[in-house]
Amino acid sequence: MYCCSCGVKLSDAEVRCPLCGLEAYHPNLPRKTAQSPYPVELYPEKEVSPWGIRMIVLAAFLLPLITVLLCDLPLNGTVTWSGYVIGALVLLYVVAILPLWFRHPNPVIFVPIDFAAVGVYLLYINFAVAGNWFLSFAFPVTGFCLLLTTTVVTLRRYVRRGRMYVYGGAIAALGLFIPVMELLLYVTFDTIGFSGWSFYPMAVLVLFGGFLIFLGICRPAREMMERKFFI
């Protein structure tokens, strides 16, 4: 018999057309058990080795890295501009690819590693441009972001409750850090001057963080907000 929808030839025992999925039934033919003329699986899937993918991605990172080094070294005799490219590639690899090496990457471990990598890259740039801003600006700002993000990630992972307190506290802490950042900017690059702009974002962030903490404390307010925002 043939499928009445797409016309493909069917065996007498076919329950469904293997091509279009239409139910196949011939009233004059008794249903027998017979083998389908078509294979069940056309293209059996092959398992891709994660090791192979890792090696290909690593090669994709190493290739441009070696290329820029080969362009830079013979021309300038030392690592000049290629240092930034290599640093950026290594940073991208650490942040985006390194966690994929693990089956269940733990953010509590990888977030500090990412920030440490950012810090090392900034330190390199600081030395490469003979800047004098790493210790007084980049290091404290990166360090603060590392501490704040790691704390949030750790609390969210290991403490079940208190989501509102964690996020509210983190946002408020970020707000309180902004004037410190302005001060560091002022100390490091004193051309800008201390105008106090940082108090505006600080006020907004502290208020918003405080509001989240208030929602965490006050259950009726939280439920009312949930009703407003989630249908």
* Contacting residues toward Zn ion, per CB under 5 A: 3, 5-6, 17, 19-20, 22
Q: Cβ closer to Zn ion: 19 or 95?
A: 19
Q: What are the CA-CA distances from residue 147 to residues 113, 115, 152, 178 (Å)?
A: 12, 9, 9, 15
Q: Cβ closer to Zn ion: 3 or 117?
A: 3
Smallest distance from Zn ion to CB 30, Å: 21
Smallest distance from Zn ion to CB 25, Å: 12
Which residues have a Cβ under 8 Å from the Cβ of 13 and sit 6 or more positions away? 31, 32, 33, 34, 35, 36
Q: Cβ closer to Zn ion: 17 or 213?
A: 17
Q: Cβ closer to Zn ion: 14 or 182?
A: 14
Reading the block at residue 19, the tokens are 């091509």
Smallest distance from Zn ion to CB 15, Å: 12
Are 168 and 211 in contact by the 8 Å Cβ rule? The answer is yes
Greatest C-alpha distance within the chain: 94
Reading the block at residue 58, the tokens are 């690593």
Rg (CA), the chain: 30
Smallest distance from Zn ion to CB 159, Å: 56
Are 49 and 41 in contact by the 8 Å Cβ rule? The answer is no
Tell me phi and psi for residue 5, to 5 degrees.
-95, -50
Smallest distance from Zn ion to CB 12, Å: 15
